Every structure is written in structure tokens, then in C-alpha cells.
Amino acid sequence: MHRTYGLATFLNMRHTLPFAPQFYVTAPQSCPYLDDRQERKLFTSLQIDDAQILNDKLSKQGFRRSQNVLYRPSCVECAACMSARIRVDDFKPTTTQRRIERKNSGLERFMRSPWATEEQYDLFKTYLSHRHSNGGMADMDVFEFAAMIEETPIKTRVIEYYDGDKLIACCLTDVLDDGLSLVYSFFDPSYEKLSLGTYVILNQIALAREIGLPYVYLGYWVPGSRKMGYKRKFSALEIFRVNQWTPLKEDDSYSNELHPMNTLPIAEQVANLSLPSR
């Protein structure tokens, strides 16, 4: 039997659970990607002792991290959300992407420990007010922002980009055993001509190459969602679909149509997961 809880209830779990992770399902709520749909998530808590190995293992199976929770979409009748990652060695920038790299060549990059600053928060609020004023994060206060940055039980870095002495872009990045996972990025909208959103991804690809990691995880790609459409612009992109990673095709064969057989029962989803062993 599986109980339904709100995801926020578990974002600050501190009690000790057995190593075999316990999985839960969130209550349905409005989908942030497709209109008139409800989203539901399968999720588990990250324990301090085994957080890194569990995060590494489940990230390869379409999960994402939010503070000390790992989650994956498990929507009734809908399977549109697919985890996406870039194969670093096979990535080839387009002419436009090379131009963006040149335009941003003067920026300085700093890699910090996950510690929130007022400068980051000011940039974050400016970004949200221009890009996502009606989104679920628009009302996030400084304490919630600090929790997003600092409450991580795994190896995480805050990667900052400066134009002179001004912070203009920031990316919260998890370091996995096989890649970099972009948890959340934000930037100064007044620098629109620099295409900072694209540049941050390009720079993360370069960083993964520098440290010998084969993938950059981008979160979810959703066919039919304009918010997620930019991810198709990156070559060597693959998606996690039907329990395996496959290259994203160039055609439009991916569907976001509703169907009652799209989602397996929760018990079967959990049984099909590959979990780490001690």
C-alpha cells in the first residue's frame, strides 16, 4: 500500500531511515510544463551516510535532486517528462553556440561551496521577476533560497559567472560519479544579448570535459513544452525512456498524449529500480 504526501513535507527530513530507501508519491498538483495536466512524483529521502551513492545510482534512472529528496515524475496517464543528458565527448557546438562562447569569453568563473549569499539571492529574485514571475518559486524568501543552495547531503558546487565585479549568472551543480547535474541556474536578464542560459550549459559541458566526466544532466525534456524546447538545440542529447538511455531523434515522433497505460503501477516502478548495494 502506498501513501500520498505533499513533497514539501519531506524536504527537511532529518530522521534516520534504513539503507533500503522508502519511496512515496506526492499528491497530484498542476503541471508546470503542460497546461491542464496534473503532475505526480515518486520520491525518496537522501540519507547523509549513503546520499552520494544513492544519488549517483538513481540519477542514472531519471531521478533529480531537490535538497535532500530525490524525485522522478510518475504522473497518471502521462509519461511526457523524460530525463535528458548530453554525451560530453560527442557534443559539437553549433555555429550559434560557438558565437555565444566567444561573446562570453571575458567572463570569470568561480566554483564555490554550497553557501548562499545576498548577491546570489538578489540575482535570483531579479531573474524570477523577469522570467518566471508566476512560477512556483516566485515567492521564495531568502531563507528558502538558502535552503535550496545549502541543504545538500552530496557533493554540490555553486558556479558563479562574473562580468568584472558583477555577478551575472549562477548555477547550482551536483557532481555525480559520471557527470555534472544542473540543479538550477539563473542569470541577469539585462544581459540578454549574451544568451547566458545557453552559455552556462556550454560552460558546464566544458567543465565536465576538463574533469573527465562523460555526461551533463539537464533535467527533464518535455515534448510540446516551450519551456523545455531549448534542450533540443544541444547535440549528443539522449533521454531516459522506457528504462534506458537513448539518443534523442531529430524527428517529431515523441508524444505527450494522455493514455491510461502510460504509467506503471508504483509498486512495479519501485521494483524495477536498480538500487546500490553496500
pLDDT tens-digit profile of 149-195?
999 999 999 999 999 999 999 999 999 999 999 999 999 999 999 99
Average pLDDT over every residue of 38-43: 93
Give me the CATH topology for the region 85-237. Answer: Aminopeptidase (3.40.630)
**Quick one: pLDDT at residue 14?**
43
Question: Residue 96: pLDDT band by 50, 70, 90 thresholds?
Answer: very high
Supply the pLDDT for residue 136: 63
What average pLDDT score do residues 109-119 get? Answer: 97
Across the chain, the runs of DSSP E, i.e. the strands, are 4-5, 23-26, 29-30, 38-39, 41-45, 64-66, 69-73, 82-87, 108-112, 156-163, 166-175, 179-187, 215-221, 237-241, 244-247
Arithmetic mean of pLDDT, 123-133: 83
Average pLDDT along the chain: 88
C-alpha cell at 221: 525534456
Q: What is the pLDDT of residue 256?
A: 79
Q: Where are the alpha helices (DSSP H) in the chain?
A: 51-59, 95-103, 118-131, 142-150, 196-210, 266-271
Q: In which region does residue 56 sit, left (phi positive, over 0), alpha (psi from -120 to 50) or beta (all else)? A: alpha
Residue 108 pLDDT greater than 90, yes or no: yes
The percent of residues in the chain predicted with pLDDT above 90, rounded, is 67
Residue 141 is predicted with a pLDDT of 92
The pLDDT of residue 213:
98
Cβ atoms 190, 122 nearer than 8 A: no
**Which three cell numbers mark 59?**
540519477
Q: Where in the chain is the domain with CATH 3.40.630.30?
A: 85-237
